[in-house]
Structure 1
Amino acid sequence: MSKKGDNAKKALIDSLNGVLADHLALYMKTKNFHWHVSGPRFHDLHLLFDSQATQILALTDIIGERVRKNGGDTLTSIGAIAAKTRIKDQDSTSLSPEAMVKELREDNIALIAAIREAKAAAGEAGDNATDGSSDDWTDQAEQRVWFLDQIIK
């Protein structure tokens, strides 16, 4: 493989690990909100957050395996996730339901941007499988944003 090809593959692996870290961090935040939501909308938001967390977690193995199939090493620890994610921690257990929804909406929008960057890196590296799979990852995140938008309105 040429030097340019090596660099493109390294950039793809780095980008995929970032997307993996973002999914893992967003999963944890979504579960935090699932566990700590309260108020009159508890039931609906509790179920929505759980459903979204399950969807997010389901993608982590697929993304990690794309890293491995491209010859890279995946994230190995909480510290590695923290170092790579763009998703900001939220340690509060007493946010309002509205604040939770808004934060998850913004995080999913940031995730979409990261996935699009990984898709571009996949194109540069000639990885058609990641390029195609990233469309599904984007669609799932866009659906989460759409659902969260409906609650904000």
Structure 2
Amino acid sequence: MGKIDIGISSENRIAIAGGLKKLLADSYTLYLQTHNFHWNVTGPQFRDLHLMFEEHYTELATAVDEIAERIRTLDIPAPGTYKAFASLTSIEEVEGVPEATQMVEILTGSHEKVVKTCRAVLAIAQEADDESTAALVGDRMRIHEKTAWMLRAMQ
């Protein structure tokens, strides 16, 4: 491949990609968590939660691809292993199968953690005048804020 020249310095591309790697790890971990809960939810709210969780993990599947492609656009390799994601994510693993109400609480907290990761990446992107990353991260932040709000409303 030829040398990249998109108006963002190498140092800024590395810093932005570093933040995006954390966002990718958080998003992928949240995808797995949500999919797990979709498969294992039980109780009186089964149908509503089962369908909601499916909507959420489907949206996250698209998101992880967009985030990884942005990292590659910056000419930085994107992480793609469980080991890499585990070392980068701020979302904690859940042991066992929690009750449905706990699933909602856990997912609320996980979406809020992703929002915080988005805020950190957004600041880096804005400082580097990287509108493309800022737009992507801003959209992601809005989606996670709204999802957390909807989950909180169920508690």
Residue in 2 that maps onto 1:35:
39
- Quote the sequence identity (%): 30
Over 6 Å off, 4+ runs: none
Counterpart code for 1:8 = N
1:54 to 49, 58, 75: 58
| Higher-helix-fraction structure | 1
- Is 2:13 the partner of 1:9? yes
Question: TM-score scaled to structure 2, two decimals?
Answer: 0.91
Counterpart code for 2:134 = D
Cα RMSD of the aligned pairs, angstroms, is: 1.5
CA distance in 2, matches of 1:39, 1:118: 38
CA distance in 1, matches of 2:70, 2:119: 15
Q: CA deviation at 1:6?
A: 3.2
1:109 to 101, 109, 112: 112
- Is 2:144 the partner of 1:149? no
Counterpart code for 1:50 = E
Q: Which runs of 5 or more residues in structure 2 are unaligned?
A: none
Question: TM-score scaled to structure 1, two decimals?
Answer: 0.92
Q: For residue 76 of structure 1, give the secondary structure of its aligned residue in structure 2.
A: coil
What are the superposed Cα offsets for residues 57-88 of structure 1, whole Å, 9 maximum, x if unpaired?
A: 11011100110111111003111111111111
Equivalent pairs counted in the alignment come to 149
CA distance in 2, matches of 1:91, 1:58: 26
1:83 to 80, 84, 87: 87
- Is 2:27 the partner of 1:23? yes
CA distance in 1, matches of 2:40, 2:21: 28
CA distance in 1, matches of 2:20, 2:75: 12
CA distance in 2, matches of 1:53, 1:76: 17
CA distance in 2, matches of 1:143, 1:8: 30
Q: Which runs of 5 or more residues in structure 1 are unaligned?
A: none
What are the superposed Cα offsets for residues 14-72 of structure 1, whole Å, 9 maximum, x if unpaired?
A: 10000000000000000111111101111111111111111111101110011011111
